[in-house]
Amino acid sequence: QDAVRKRFGVAASQLRIYLHYQPSYYHLHVHFTALAYDAPGCSVERAHLLADVIDNLALDPMYYQKQALSFTLRADEALLKRFQEAGRV
């Protein structure tokens, strides 16, 4: 947060820090965006707040092995087609 503040002038209180997970994205990565910016992919269906992830893991290190995570797919995504072919949607 300090690095973002120094480089971009955005205070920690004005940051949205979230991560993406599979299958909506194909590798785990973290975003730091200003709250004023409505970033694509920052919605609850495709992202998790980093603070929530840290809290969940602090409560239970196995949290994400036990918890089902919902996600959305666009109608034109190949992964959706594969789910449909498998009778999962």
Please name every residue paired with 40 in a beta bridge, in sequence order, or none if there are none: none
Whole-angstrom Cα distance, residue 55 to residue 60? 9
The answer for 47, left when phi > 0, alpha when psi is -120 to 50, beta otherwise, is beta
Phi, psi of 35 (to 5 degrees): -55, -30
User: Please, which residues have CB within 8 angstroms of residue 67's CB and are 6 or more apart in sequence?
Assistant: 56
* Active-site entry in 20, 27, 29, 48: 29
- Known catalytic membership, residue 48: no
Active site residues: 29
